[in-house]
A = this chain, B = another copy of it.
Amino acid sequence: MATLTLNPDRLLPADPTTRAIARELYAAVRDLPIISPHGHVPPQWLADDTPFSDPTSLLITPDHYVTRMLHAHGVSLADLGVGQAEFTPEQARAAFRILCSHWKAYRGTPVKSWLESELVDVFGIDLVPSADTADQIYDAIAAKLATPEFRPRALYERLGIEFLATTDDPADDLRHHVALADDPTWDGHVAPTFRPDRYLEPATPAWNGLMDTLGEVCGIDVGTYAGWVAVMEDRRAFFKANGAVSTDHSHRDARVEPLEPAEAERLYARARAGQITVEEGHTLRRAFMFEQARMASEDGLVMTMHPAVFRNHHTPTFERFGADVGGDIPMAVEFTNAVQPMLAAFGTSPGFQVVLFTIDETVYSRELAPLAGFYPSVYIGAPWWFIDSPEAMRRYRSAVTETAGFARTSGFIDDTRAYLSIPARHDTNRRMDSAFLATLVADHRLTMDEALDTAHDLVVANPRKAFKL
């Protein structure tokens, strides 16, 4: 039976000269601590430090990167535990068998390399996943998860994490963040992120109820546009007081555009009355976004935007299994016109910073690099979600560097709820940035000293600057 190993040179260029350079660059950054300014690890894991229950609920069920590919190969999401209130140990084991039996499906994808890294580096398993090895791997992981070394806080240490941001609802009381901050036995750094998307979509059925709740949380009347502004300012201040460094925004387009006060008030009243149209809802949402940008210029929280994804594309799957199960599909996006009103207003304000993410790679060289190459407030977000992968990372550096240099990029963002994959994801990025820099050294665009300094910056200085850490 084949042994699963991780080659130390993986992802480094094949050409011997370039590989030797890349090795040296990678060696210089390999062991640096992980800064993770945007992700989806539940803070409760670290606050409670409860052991993980089983391999499937940790590695498969919540990770739509893993489940969507199995779905594409004809597996029902139900069989993977998605949306299943009850999922027996037998079902969990069966789900793990399904994954291992479809191992071939992941060839050429980063999911394969992340999981392989987790097996080898985190769990010390050297079996290649297959129908034959599934149970043995499952048992080995389960045994580890039962040990103290595999509880969330111990893993935080062992995975080499220095800073970890979570993603949180504005109505959240941040009790887990507070608990961690108040815990003298905990010396990690977990920060909340303000993610107000749902409160910025006034044409959705849930909006009025959400706003009511948020108003109650703050004790502010949300009956007027001014009330909406007040409640947002209140919650942003609360998040900031509890360590937040950024706010996160994802809508169908990137447009940020103010409204005349009277028009804003009029649309807001229609929304509160449940009478706003879909188009008016977009208009009001773009004004809400402008308010967020204005607040950012004042409170200094960094904005991150990652627009233009068609959420819950397959309606029957959404109705049965809910959101975030792999059925979101990207769309083309436009930034140059969309963010112009925001940048004309705040683009050179000292306190304002915005990181622009995209899955539409066409905007890298056409729009994002030119924007970040002029505005001191604009950072180009790392390739993210579907394109958090070696080939896409190479295309990204090729597309943005010549116009914006290295310093105007965000540093790597893992954006994951797959806790154990965080080191593998950052490691992939360090390898690919080393590989890219090595090509610039090999053809004499950079000296080795410049490349070493840049490699270090990309891991340390860039995320600190982009996220004001």
Binding site for B on A (CB under 8 A): 2, 7, 9-18, 68-69, 71-74, 104-110, 113, 310, 313-317, 326-332, 334, 336-337, 340, 343-344, 347-348, 359-362, 365-367, 369-376, 378, 386-387, 389-392, 395, 398-399, 401-408, 439-440, 442-447, 449-450, 453-454
Contact = CB atoms under 8 A, between A and B. Distances in A.
B14 A443 contact: yes
A402 B407 contact: no
Contact of A347 (B113, B314, B444): B314
A359 B365 CA distance: 8
A332 B362 contact: yes
B331 A366 contact: yes
B72 A408 contact: yes
Identical subunits present: 3
B337 A331 contact: yes
Contact of A387 (B10, B317, B373, B402): B402
Contacts of A398: 391, 395
A403 B109 contact: yes
Contacts of A72: 372-376, 378, 404, 408
Contacts of A454: 107-108
* Residue from A328, A362, A408 with most neighbouring chain B CB atoms (10 Å): A362
Nearest to A386: B403
A347 B313 CA distance: 10
B329 A2 contact: no
A297 to B, nearest CB: 14
A310 B337 contact: yes
Contact of A366 (B73, B361, B453): B361
11 contacts: A13-B14, A14-B17, A15-B15, A72-B374, A104-B450, A108-B405, A108-B446, A109-B402, A331-B334, A359-B370, A390-B445
Given A331-B367, A376-B73, A449-B2, A443 B107 contact: no
Contacts of A7: 444
Given A9-B444, A13-B443, A406 B330 contact: no
A22 to B, nearest CB: 10
A104 B456 CA distance: 13
A18 to B, nearest CB: 5
A370 B329 contact: yes
A330 B14 contact: no
Given A14-B17, A326-B374, A362-B332, A386 B405 contact: no
